[in-house]
């Protein structure tokens, strides 16, 4: 789970990490008042988006007057955001914060290393090159932290050196880095980043940008963090499926897919790509899901206006196959659409179950291979 930058800064500030004063606005008319409240001097204007940056721009501006702040916010609000234009959403929030003059842009992060099953702190004396949203693998020093003992004093000295700072800065680095580490542990983050971490002329450290990602499976222990999720950053389909704990991955194409494991989903995606089509999203189900839950998920996909067809995997297991076919029938009756449904039934048992529904419902087509499913969905 992602959150906005301003939310990440609020969390880090609670853990003692210095951040520039600022406030989020949702209307350009609010920008002038917020700009004036920050005091004399320019302000940084930042579009807030899970997509990391508006399409064609970084989404950051510098305002030297209230009028400039209003103009910049007006230009950002409503602009599509996201690296992938197929997954872009309009910007609804803009952060206005005090501009901080710095001498050096540093980098500091803590991540949970899946292979080590331990937190690792990353530090660099400059911003390392890496893709937006990715964790840098080069240009940083890695310091593994043993969760049994926590952070140790000698590690802060190594982190200070990795940041290119004099040993007189150890106490300040310790305060910032330990606050970042405690935020990761107590909030059960996957990654918490400060980049750039600014060093001012007065030798003060301040978090100029911050990003945090959380373990979605742990959110039931953190209601305050789960409440930070911004529905405006997701489609209606994603927002409808989330409360039901149905796993869904939006992809931005025109064909909806329903699968029971990653392997079968990849086979379907590859087959669609081979026909020149693109999947719009994958709905992942489990063998434990009742027919009503499966039907709800398929109904949501049938109601997705951007989808022109659905490919539904019918499993080999006879009981589960019957449950899926029953769910498809319920969904076809619930959703007010004639959208075609391609039932991918590889086994003979699955084909017999699907054929019964196809005889009763004209919108259901039964095929026996992923290639046939892709061709049928592509041809609609």
Tens-digit pLDDT profile for residues 21-32: 999 999 999 999
CATH, domain range 234-378: 3.40.50.261
| Distance, CA of 86 to CA of 11 (rounded, Å) | 31
Q: Which of 363, 343, 340 is nearest to 354 (CA)?
A: 343
pLDDT tens string 185-210: 999 999 999 989 999 999 999 999 99
Enumerate the CATH 3.30.1490.20 domain ranges in the chain, comma separated: 21-98
Task: Determine what percent of the chain is predicted with pLDDT higher than 90.
Answer: 66
Q: Which of 377, 353, 374 is nearest to 363 (CA)?
A: 377
Tokens (6 digits) for 111:
């991540």
Q: Assess whether pLDDT exceeds 70 at residue 174.
A: yes
pLDDT value at position 114? 85
pLDDT tens string 266-284: 999 999 999 999 999 999 9
Beta bridge pairs of residue 106: 197
pLDDT-derived band at 379, boundaries 50, 70, 90: confident
For domain 104-226, the question of CATH label 3.40.50.720 is answered with: no
Cβ(137)–Cβ(219) under 8 Å? Answer: no
pLDDT tens string 10-23: 999 999 999 999 99
pLDDT-derived band at 57, boundaries 50, 70, 90: low
Question: Which residue blocks in 217-285 are alpha helix, DSSP H?
Answer: 223-226, 236-241, 262-274
pLDDT tens string 79-99: 877 665 556 788 999 999 999
Task: Kindly report the backbone phi and psi dihedral angles of residue 281, in degrees, each rounded to the nearest multiple of 5, phi listed first.
Answer: 175, 155
pLDDT-derived band at 72, boundaries 50, 70, 90: very high
Q: Assess whether pLDDT exceeds 70 at residue 44.
A: yes
Question: How confident is the prediction for the chain on average, in pLDDT?
Answer: 89
pLDDT value at position 41? 84
Sheet (strand 93-98) strand order: 22-25, 93-98, 43-48, 60-63
233 three-class SS: helix
Cβ(69)–Cβ(3) under 8 Å? Answer: no
pLDDT value at position 360? 77
| Distance, CA of 12 to CA of 301 (rounded, Å) | 38
Q: What angle do CA 123, 129, 133 make, to 5 degrees?
A: 85
57-63: long-range contacts at Cβ-Cβ below 8 A with a sequence spacing of 24 or more?
A: 59/91, 62/99, 63/35, 63/96
pLDDT value at position 153? 86
| Distance, CA of 10 to CA of 183 (rounded, Å) | 11
Q: What is the pTM of this model?
A: 0.82
CATH class for the region spanning 21-98: alpha beta
Task: Determine what percent of the chain is predicted with pLDDT higher than 70.
Answer: 93
Cβ(342)–Cβ(309) under 8 Å? Answer: yes
Tokens (6 digits) for 191:
């990654």
pLDDT tens string 310-355: 999 999 888 999 999 999 888 887 666 678 999 999 888 888 888 8
Q: Which of 261, 262, 109 is nearest to 195 (CA)?
A: 109
Over residues 120-133, the mean pLDDT reads 83
Strands (E), the chain: 22-25, 43-48, 60-63, 80-81, 89-90, 93-98, 104-113, 118-124, 141-144, 189-199, 205-207, 210-214, 247-250, 255-259, 279-284, 309-314, 341-345, 364-367
Over residues 90-119, the mean pLDDT reads 93
The region that residue 150 occupies, defined by phi over 0 for left and psi between -120 and 50 for alpha, beta otherwise, is left
pLDDT tens string 295-307: 999 999 999 989 9
Q: What angle do CA 204, 205, 208 make, to 5 degrees?
A: 130
Enumerate the CATH 3.40.50.261 domain ranges in the chain, comma separated: 234-378
| Distance, CA of 263 to CA of 283 (rounded, Å) | 13
Is the sign of the CA dihedral 146, 149, 150, 155 positive or negative? Answer: negative
CA separation, residue 370 to residues 50, 97, 339, 356, 367 (Å):
33, 51, 19, 20, 8
Which has more pLDDT, 243 or 362?
243
pLDDT value at position 314? 93
Which has more pLDDT, 337 or 245?
245
| Distance, CA of 105 to CA of 15 (rounded, Å) | 21
pLDDT value at position 169? 95
Computed over its alpha carbons, how large is the radius of gyration of the chain? 25
Tokens (6 digits) for 211:
């990003």
Q: Assess whether pLDDT exceeds 70 at residue 54.
A: no
| Distance, CA of 168 to CA of 211 (rounded, Å) | 28
């Amino acid at each position: 789970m992602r959150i906005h930058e301003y939310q990440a800064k609020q969390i880090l500030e609670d853990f003692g990490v210095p951040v520039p004063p600022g406030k989020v606005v949702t209307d350009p008319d609010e920008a002038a008042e917020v700009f004036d409240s920050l005091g004399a001097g320019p302000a940084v204007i930042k579009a807030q988006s899970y997509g990391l940056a508006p399409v064609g721009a970084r989404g950051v501006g510098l305002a030297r007057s209230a009028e400039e702040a209003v103009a910049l916010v007006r230009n950002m609000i409503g602009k599509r955001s996201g690296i992938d234009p197929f997954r872009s959403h309009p910007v609804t929030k803009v952060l206005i914060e005090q501009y901080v003059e710095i001498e050096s842009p540093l980098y500091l992060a803590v991540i949970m290393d899946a292979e080590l099953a331990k937190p690792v702190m990353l530090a660099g004396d400059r911003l390392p090159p890496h893709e937006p949203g990715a964790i840098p693998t080069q240009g940083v020093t890695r310091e593994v932290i043993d969760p049994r003992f926590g952070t140790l004093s000698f590690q802060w000295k190594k982190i200070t050196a990795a940041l290119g700072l004099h040993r007189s800065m150890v106490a300040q680095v310790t305060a910032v880095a330990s606050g970042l580490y405690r935020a990761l542990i107590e909030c059960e983050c996957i990654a918490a980043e400060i980049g750039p971490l600014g060093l001012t002329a007065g030798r003060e450290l301040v978090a100029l940008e911050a990003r945090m990602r959380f373990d979605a499976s742990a959110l039931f222990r953190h209601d305050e963090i789960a409440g930070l999720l911004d529905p405006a950053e997701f489609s209606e389909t994603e927002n409808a499926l989330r409360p039901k704990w149905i796993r869904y991955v939006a992809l931005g194409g025109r064909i909806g897919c329903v699968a029971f494991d990653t392997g079968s989903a990849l086979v379907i995606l590859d087959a669609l790509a081979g026909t020149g089509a693109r999947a719009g999203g994958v709905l992942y189900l489990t063998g434990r899901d009742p027919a009503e839950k499966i039907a709800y998920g398929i109904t949501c996909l049938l109601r997705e206006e951007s989808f022109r067809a659905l490919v539904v995997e019918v499993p080999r297991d006879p009981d589960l196959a019957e449950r899926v076919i029953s769910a498809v029938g319920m969904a076809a009756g619930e959703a007010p659409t004639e959208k075609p449904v391609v039932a991918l039934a590889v086994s003979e048992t699955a084909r017999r179950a699907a054929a019964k529904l196809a005889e009763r419902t004209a919108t259901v087509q039964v095929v026996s291979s992923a290639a046939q499913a892709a061709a049928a969905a592509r041809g609609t």
